[in-house]
Amino acid sequence: MIKFLLKGIVHDRSRSFLPIIIVSIGVMLTVVLYCWLYGIIGDSIVMNANFTTGHLRVMTRAYAQKPEQMANDLAILDAGRLVEGLQRDYPGIDWVKRIRFGALMDFPDAKGETRAQGPVLGWAIDLLSPGSKEAGRFNIEKSIVIGNIPSKSGEALISDDFALKFNVQPGDTFTIFGTTMDGSMAFRNFIVAGTLRFGVAAIDKGAVIMDITDAQAAFSMDDATGEVLGFFDDEIYDDEKATSIATRFNMKFNASKDEFAPLMITLRGQEGMAEMMDYVNAAAGIMIFVFLLAMSLVLWNTGLIGSLRRYNEFGVRLALGESKGHIYKTLLYEGVLIGGIGTVIGTVIGLVLAYYLQTVGLDTSGMMKNASMMIPSVVRAVVTPSAYYIGLIPGLFSIVLGNALAGIGIYKRQTASLFKELEV
């Protein structure tokens, strides 16, 4: 029967061509939108984790109260011993020291006088240790516009927008003005190793990245660090595992009343990340549900109209002795075949477009020049395993439902009046 119905669908294009096109378009749009939304969610969370929160974050209790202030006078002391203990107690996690700071960057002229100045947001990370993954987390190699990654102490990277604004080239010298951990004035000279652009407006306005040993020397933070971040070895955040680790770690210091005692917080528990993750996931779920509902209604209507147009055909088949139940079953089978063909075509086209958006992305930098959130300016889709079957909902279920509802009319036909209907 299926082979017979398939031949009918192929040869009778008047009843199958339009539904297959509509199903294909609906499924394609569903797949692309689904991958697009989850791409935005994933990129934003990964970027925040790599730049700011980590999967786990250890700070002093005082620092954790207002981490956005980057108050290094509340930094972790004896950081080396803390990291060794974390590595021993919680293997499978890459524990790294980080220092974040705000400072003033000064560029001298040929006479050594100030030529230009500007505020910057700084990151001190492990750039020089063999095997360090920090440069990869910041995607520094692909973000460099001119120059190279620092290869020795005293070199730093600055944002390309900042360099263009003040006409700075690799090899130029600049001075960082900030405050030490003790609150006194700090200044240190650096050489521009290169410039970079992350594609995040909030960072590209003015940023400097240096090795953490240089920052410790500049801000008098010997064996101290602002925070220690932990990243799972597979670089994928596991909230259940992270919560378990943070709970066990914090239990060791529950009895302490020292404001400089270490406190571990998960990615989800930091700086509004829980609200962000819940809000974005909820918004994405609502948008996908609304879109699926709309497409389902359209395809349902297509199946309904297509079946109603075949009212006389069903009458002829009934007059020839075919049972109502058999006609109804064939109508459902046709819906499955048409929906299946359209779903396969739409899914393939949708995945091709999604893979293209995943590779190339869409540049939205013009709309985020004044953005303060860590959202990548090049927004990409991400193809997840569920993208391969998400189109079944609008593509298969809805058109079959439409055929099923339309087919109810078959049981309302009166066999006695069939010939009178056919004469008309």
Residues above pLDDT 90, as percent of the chain: 34
Query: Are 140 and 289 part of one and the same domain?
Result: no
Distance CA 90, CA 92 (A): 7
Distance CA 188, CA 218 (A): 6
383 touches 358 (CB < 8 A)? yes
Query: Are 59 and 178 part of one and the same domain?
Result: yes
Query: Are 219 and 101 part of one and the same domain?
Result: yes
Residue 121 neighbours by CB under 8 Å, 6+ apart: 100, 101, 102, 203, 206, 207, 208
Query: Are 69 and 175 part of one and the same domain?
Result: yes
More confident residue, 328 or 59: 59
Query: Are 19 and 151 part of one and the same domain?
Result: no
Query: Are 206 and 298 part of one and the same domain?
Result: no
Please state which of the ranges 98-107, 193-202, 249-258, 260-269 shows the lowest mean pLDDT. 193-202
| CB atoms near residue 252 (< 10 Å) | 13
Q: Which of 231, 266, 301 is the last residue of a domain?
A: 266
Whole-number average pLDDT of the chain: 82
Q: Which of 266, 291, 308 is the last residue of a domain?
A: 266
pLDDT in tens, 258-311: 889 999 999 888 777 777 677 766 766 776 677 667 766 776 676 666 656 666
pLDDT in tens, 10-63: 555 556 677 788 888 888 888 888 888 777 777 777 888 888 889 999 999 999
Q: How many residues does the chain have?
A: 424
Q: How many independent structural domains does the chain possess?
A: 2
Please state which of the ranges 116-130, 177-191, 398-412 shows the lowest mean pLDDT. 398-412
Please report, for residues 223, 296, 344, 347, 392, the alpha-carbon distance to residue 299 in angstroms, rounded to integers and kept in the order given. 65, 5, 15, 16, 12
The region, left, alpha or beta by phi > 0 then psi within -120 to 50, assigned to residue 370 is: alpha
98 touches 123 (CB < 8 A)? yes
pLDDT in tens, 365-384: 555 444 444 455 567 788 88
Rounded average pLDDT over 6-11: 56
Strands (E), 330-377: 362-363
pLDDT given for residue 257 in this prediction? 86
Q: Which of 208, 237, 266 is the last residue of a domain?
A: 266
Residue 238 lies in domain = 55-266
246 touches 56 (CB < 8 A)? yes
Residue 326 neighbours by CB under 8 Å, 6+ apart: none
More confident residue, 310 or 93: 93
Query: Are 126 and 159 part of one and the same domain?
Result: yes
Query: Are 219 and 160 part of one and the same domain?
Result: yes
More confident residue, 103 or 26: 103
Query: Are 7 and 62 part of one and the same domain?
Result: no
Distance CA 50, CA 136 (A): 9
**pLDDT above 90: residue 312:** no
Query: Are 341 and 235 part of one and the same domain?
Result: no
Helix H or strand E encompassing 375: none
Query: Are 319 and 362 part of one and the same domain?
Result: yes
Query: Are 284 and 238 part of one and the same domain?
Result: no
pLDDT in tens, 167-184: 899 999 999 999 988 888
Phi and psi, residue 362, nearest 5°: -125, 120
pLDDT given for residue 372 in this prediction? 43
**pLDDT above 90: residue 204:** no
DSSP string, 180-198: -TTSSEEEEEEEEEEEE--
Please state which of the ranges 29-38, 81-90, 189-198, 214-223 shows the lowest mean pLDDT. 29-38
When pLDDT is cut at 50, 70 and 90, the band that residue 93 belongs to is very high
User: What are the structure tokens assigned to 143, written together?
Assistant: 């973000």
| CB atoms near residue 37 (< 10 Å) | 20
Rounded average pLDDT over 84-97: 94
Rounded average pLDDT over 128-135: 91
Find the distance separating the first CA and the last CA of the chain, reported in whole Å.
31
